[in-house]
Structure 1
Amino acid sequence: MPTDPPPAWVLTRRRQIGDRIRAARTSRKLSQEKLAETIGVDRKTVNRIEQGAHATSIDRLLLIADALDVPLRNLVG
């Protein structure tokens, strides 16, 4: 059974979170590959999260925040 797509504001927020993750990652000079390895996913998953195309779990966001050494609120704020 197909599900309805999320509302537009959810997609916008996903992209904003992805932008913050990308900014934190690049400021620490980490590649998508290195971040992916650190949090236990593949590079494509990191790319989809940064693009806002993947609805990731809170657990994965916590792992990303820890790997980037930033408070979670800085990523989802």
Structure 2
Amino acid sequence: MKAVAAHDTLLFNLKTDPGEKENLLAQNPKVAQELITKLKVFQTHLGEVPPGLKTKEPADRSHYDRQEAWLKLEGK
């Protein structure tokens, strides 16, 4: 799997490339720009988005630790 930088703009045809392997941006810059414009309009209509939920760091693994201990007892 190829790593993609967070700032890259990508354009895929999900009907013919569901695995998102071929970036079609270079061949279709106008389509990409139209979609970006539609996204910006949508974001404007959406308004302010509430902040995401904060998670505890480090995550509470106690539930998983108990399961792992059980699996060790079972020999799995």
Scaled by the length of structure 1, the TM-score of the pair is 0.28
Q: Which has the larger radius of gyration?
A: 2
Larger RCO, structure (CA 8 Å, separation 6 or more): 1
Structure ranking higher in helix proportion = 1
